[in-house]
């Protein structure tokens, strides 16, 4: 039996010898590589926290002691040590989540995988333990150096330093990267610490003394240096977290298990907030990852476990790629175009722009609020910023979009990647709220391209707006085939299909256009005529949409955002204002946190498939006694037949 096979919970680590612990770390790394290669997932971050996570679980007693991960993508090792060794179902339907999840284990606390929030969580938990008399419980927050670029982390540190009577340990996992290399003054400072020759010599000597003489050896060495304040003052870089009055231990080699344990035990003794600064390497132990300059295998699909080569088809055009190519073309023509992103330069497609015009692309770190308000300032100064982030992260900067951009009529374009149902990353990564949240912003204009051609067209239209915020949102993954319009209305609405009988008007948002066309085909088989339109710009609602609604018996809006406050709601309001009383069905996502699974599996469950939508429409049309419509039973039969043929 391997050492890993003997670990069913954290306390199984207690009896392991130094040799067994070393073997365990090797087995964990080997298993991570072989397993994630089959499922895809966040490989690099987890390879970098093996020893650090083992040390945390040896020193602290989870779940009595609360361990909070920021962000949760570095929690695979934690899962393996807390009874979830088998990662074969990782990020798959009904399998293990790619982030901590309370329903999986009592050891998991914070499910949200949005960065920079762990210290606020830890602050709150520690305060609760103190106020409820649970003085024997510790809180451990594992925060990456990339997450420290987020303002929320510094708000938390400011408050943590205000009350020293709590058992709170902050482990800074410093690998010099978030998704890509960490940016900013803090990153430069940490890099100086990481590479400083005097520190490295000092650390190596203290390490030798520790192994030879234990803690006494270090303290003797500290005194010999004349520090007079013991271990902390000797080894703490003086510029780290200035004026916060939080004890500091480090830097510590995060891959030296004994050193990490010693540092954590020292931190535990203080009984007050303390920072343990661990230096780690993202992708540790897997050469293809450490040698990959772009992201060190931050997140991978299925790969060859020996070479790291992707096993997935990369030839198809992606939404991100289409945007990246077009924004570069626009930037070549217009010098006022500026790119901004939050620690996601490559994932959102700004890397080509940055490579050609590095002075015109800004990666602000995990700081979406700053990105948006900075963009407002740039617009005031005569530029047109394009802020590209994942749709789910846009939620964090809503106030800035509302008060700093829209209120000031700033010409800023927001490009939201991974909008709608994204799949295996789960609840916190589905980009399903943007349409509902952003459409309440006065003056905002929102575009949803259906294919690569309309993406390019609408991006050019968006950056031409200089007096209001514009939004371009698109899905994750490959684009699919282009869908040609049979005509375009004077106000820019594309008609994709029009039957002789005007029974149903299908208003399709973005990538849902292909689903709408499939619905129309199924309806035609039942003798029900449909008109399929793509509004292109879904907010504000074009007048031609309302006009066409008045000419049909039923309007159905199809979107991959939540129905509550979605585009369907907006169309209904405009119809009502124009005194159009055509019945309207809103088809979209339910107002719930969606599970991790493939996009297709989720869409099937929530009824966002052509078959499910067509069934509902047939039932309503037949119920309204449209003379040429067939019975519901026939509908179900034909739809089943259609599904069988496919």
Q: What is the pLDDT of residues 71-123, one digit of tens each?
A: 788 899 999 999 999 999 998 999 998 889 999 999 999 987 788 889 999 99
Mean pLDDT on 277-305: 78
Each residue's pLDDT tens digit, 117-140: 899 999 999 999 999 999 999 999
Residue with tokens 């306390």: 11
Q: Is residue 145's pLDDT more than 80? A: no
- Kind of pairing between the strands at 494-498 and 384-390: unpaired
> For residue 141, what are the CA distances in angstroms to 62, 267, 276?
12, 13, 10
Q: Which domains does the chain have, with CATH numbers?
A: 4-204+252-290 (3.40.50.970), 319-473 (3.40.50.970), 489-645 (3.40.50.920)
The residue among 604, 622, 626 whose CA lies nearest residue 613 is 604
Catalytic residue, from 51, 261, 326, 368: name it: 368
Q: Is residue 640's pLDDT more than 60? A: no
How confident is residue 261, by pLDDT bands cut at 50, 70 and 90? Answer: very high
User: Nearest 5°: phi and psi at 439?
Assistant: -70, -10
CB 340 within 8 A of CB 388: yes
Q: Is 458 marked as a binding-site residue?
A: no
How many whole angstroms separate alpha carbon 330 and alpha carbon 413? 13
How many whole angstroms separate alpha carbon 513 and alpha carbon 268? 57
Q: Is 73 marked as a binding-site residue?
A: yes
Mean pLDDT on 388-413: 97
Mean pLDDT on 172-195: 63
> For residue 433, what are the CA distances in angstroms to 11, 94, 395, 560?
41, 23, 8, 9
Q: Is residue 645's pLDDT more than 80? A: no
Mean pLDDT on 504-524: 97
How many whole angstroms separate alpha carbon 488 and alpha carbon 533? 9
Written as one string, the DSSP assignment of 272-312 is: S-EEEEEE--TTTT-HHHHT-TTTSSSSB-SB-TTT--B-S
Percent of the chain exceeding pLDDT 90 equals: 66
Instruction: For the beta carbon of residue 527, count every other beta carbon within 10 angstroms.
Output: 17
Q: Is 175 marked as a binding-site residue?
A: yes
pTM of the model: 0.85
Angle at 543 between CA 539 and CA 545, to 5 degrees: 80
Mean pLDDT on 533-554: 97
CB 435 within 8 A of CB 567: yes
Written as one string, the DSSP assignment of 494-542 is: EEEEE-SS--EEEEE-GGGHHHHHHHHHHHHTTT--EEEEE-SEEESPP
Sheet with 247-253, edge to edge strand ranges = 66-70, 139-144, 168-174, 274-279, 247-253
Query: What is the pLDDT at residue 289?
Result: 80
CB 363 within 8 A of CB 180: yes
Mean pLDDT on 346-368: 95
Catalytic residue, from 396, 450, 570, 615: name it: 396
Query: What is the pLDDT at residue 233?
Result: 36
Q: Which helix (H) or strand (E) segment is 143 a member of?
A: strand 139-144
How many whole angstroms separate alpha carbon 12 and alpha carbon 155? 37
Percent of the chain exceeding pLDDT 70 equals: 85
Q: Is residue 546's pLDDT more than 90? A: yes
Query: What is the pLDDT at residue 231?
Result: 38
* HEC assignment per residue over 308-331: CCECCCCCCCEHHHHHHHHHHHHH
Q: Is 113 marked as a binding-site residue?
A: yes
Q: Is 398 marked as a binding-site residue?
A: no
Q: Is residue 219's pLDDT more than 80? A: no
- Kind of pairing between the strands at 274-279 and 168-174: parallel
Query: What is the pLDDT at residue 187?
Result: 61
Sheet with 583-589, edge to edge strand ranges = 487-488, 494-498, 530-534, 504-508, 554-562, 583-589
The residue among 470, 487, 476, 486 whose CA lies nearest residue 510 is 476
396 carries an active-site annotation? yes
Query: What is the pLDDT at residue 535?
Result: 98
Q: Is 368 marked as a binding-site residue?
A: yes
Query: What's the chain's average pLDDT?
Result: 87
* DSSP-based three-state secondary structure for 439: coil
Q: Is 598 marked as a binding-site residue?
A: no
Across 251-265, 283-297, 387-401, 458-472, least confident range: 283-297
Record the tokens describing residue 262, joined without a space: 């010693």
How many whole angstroms separate alpha carbon 534 and alpha carbon 416? 19
84 carries an active-site annotation? no
How many whole angstroms separate alpha carbon 208 and alpha carbon 479? 57
How confident is residue 281, by pLDDT bands cut at 50, 70 and 90? Answer: confident
Across 18-32, 225-239, 357-371, 465-479, least confident range: 225-239
How many whole angstroms separate alpha carbon 593 and alpha carbon 60? 32
Record the tokens describing residue 544, joined without a space: 């031609």
Name 131's Cβ contacts closer than 8 Å, sequence gap at least 6. Answer: none
Q: Which of 18-22, 228-232, 296-300 has the highest mean pLDDT?
A: 18-22
Residue with tokens 């989720």: 602
Q: Is 529 marked as a binding-site residue?
A: no
The residue among 446, 355, 358, 346 whose CA lies nearest residue 390 is 346
How confident is residue 592, by pLDDT bands cut at 50, 70 and 90? Answer: very high
How many whole angstroms separate alpha carbon 595 and alpha carbon 89? 14
Handedness of CA 372, 346, 425, 510 (dihedral sign): positive
Catalytic residue, from 166, 167, 218, 282: name it: 282
CB 98 within 8 A of CB 426: yes
Residue with tokens 């490295």: 200
Q: Which helix (H) or strand (E) segment is 76 a member of?
A: helix 76-81
The residue among 532, 401, 508 whose CA lies nearest residue 450 is 508
Q: Is 145 marked as a binding-site residue?
A: yes
């Amino acid at each position: 039996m391997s050492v890993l096979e003997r670990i069913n919970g954290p306390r199984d680590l207690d009896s392991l010898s130094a040799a067994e612990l070393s073997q365990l770390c090797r087995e964990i790394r080997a298993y991570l590589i072989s397993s994630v290669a089959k499922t895809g997932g966040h490989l690099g971050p987890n390879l970098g926290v093996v020893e650090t996570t083992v040390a945390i679980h040896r020193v602290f007693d989870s779940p009595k002691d609360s361990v909070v991960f920021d962000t949760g993508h570095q929690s695979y090792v934690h899962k393996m040590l807390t009874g979830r060794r088998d990662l074969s179902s990782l990020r798959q339907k009904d399998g293990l989540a790619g982030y901590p999840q309370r329903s999986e284990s009592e050891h998991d606390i914070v499910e949200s995988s949005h960065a920079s929030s762990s210290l606020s969580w830890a602050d709150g938990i520690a305060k609760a333990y103190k106020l409820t008399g649970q003085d024997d419980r510790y809180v451990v927050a594992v925060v990456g150096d990339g997450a420290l670029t987020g303002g929320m982390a510094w708000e938390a540190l400011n408050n943590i330093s205000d009350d020293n009577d709590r058992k709170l340990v902050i482990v800074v996992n410093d690998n010099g990267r978030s998704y890509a290399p960490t940016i900013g003054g803090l990153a430069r400072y940490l890099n100086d610490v990481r590479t400083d020759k005097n520190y490295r010599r000092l650390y190596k000597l203290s390490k030798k003394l520790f192994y030879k003489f234990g803690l006494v050896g270090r303290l003797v060495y500290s005194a010999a240096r004349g520090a007079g304040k013991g271990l902390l003052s000797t080894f703490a870089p003086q510029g780290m977290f200035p004026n916060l009055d939080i004890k500091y231990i480090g830097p510590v080699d995060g891959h030296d298990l004994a050193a990490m344990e010693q540092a954590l035990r020292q931190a535990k003794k203080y009984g007050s907030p303390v920072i343990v600064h661990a230096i780690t390497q993202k992708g540790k132990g897997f050469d293809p990852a450490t040698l990959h300059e772009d992201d060190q295998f931050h997140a991978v699909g299925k790969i060859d476990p020996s070479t790291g080569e992707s096993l997935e088809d990369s030839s198809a055009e992606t939404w991100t790629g289409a945007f990246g190519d077009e924004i570069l073309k626009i930037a070549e023509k217009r010098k006022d175009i500026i790119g901004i992103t939050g620690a996601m330069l490559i994932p959102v497609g700004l890397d080509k722009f940055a490579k050609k015009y590095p002075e015109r692309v800004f990666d602000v770190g995990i700081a979406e609020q700053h990105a948006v308000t900075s963009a407002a300032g740039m617009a005031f100064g005569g530029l047109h910023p394009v802020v590209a982030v994942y749709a789910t992260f846009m939620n964090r900067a809503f106030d800035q979009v509302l008060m700093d951009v829209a209120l000031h009529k700033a010409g800023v374009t927001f490009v939201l990647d991974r909008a709608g149902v994204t799949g295996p990353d789960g609840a916190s990564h589905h980009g399903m709220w943007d349409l509902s949240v952003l459409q309440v912003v006065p003056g905002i204009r929102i575009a949803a391209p259906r294919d690569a051609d309309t993406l390019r067209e609408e991006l050019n239209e968006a950056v031409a707006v200089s007096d209001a915020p514009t939004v371009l949102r698109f899905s994750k993954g490959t684009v699919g085939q282009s869908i040609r319009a049979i005509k375009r209305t004077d106000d820019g609405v594309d008609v994709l299909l029009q039957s002789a009988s005007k029974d149903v008007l299908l208003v399709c948002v973005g990538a849902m256009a292909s689903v709408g066309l499939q619905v129309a085909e199924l309806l035609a088989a039942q003798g029900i005529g449909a008109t399929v339109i793509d509004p292109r710009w879904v907010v504000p609602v074009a007048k031609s949409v309302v006009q066409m609604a008045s000419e049909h018996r039923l309007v159905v809006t199809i979107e991959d955002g939540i129905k509550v406050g979605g585009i369907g709601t907006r169309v209904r309001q405009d119809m009502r204002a124009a005194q159009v009383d055509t019945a309207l069905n809103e088809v979209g996502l339910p107002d719930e946190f969606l599970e991790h699974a493939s996009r297709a599996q989720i869409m099937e469950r929530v009824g966002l498939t052509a078959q499910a939508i067509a069934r509902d429409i047939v039932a309503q049309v037949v119920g309204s006694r449209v003379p040429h419509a067939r019975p519901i039973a026939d509908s179900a039969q034909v739809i089943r037949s259609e599904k069988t043929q496919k």
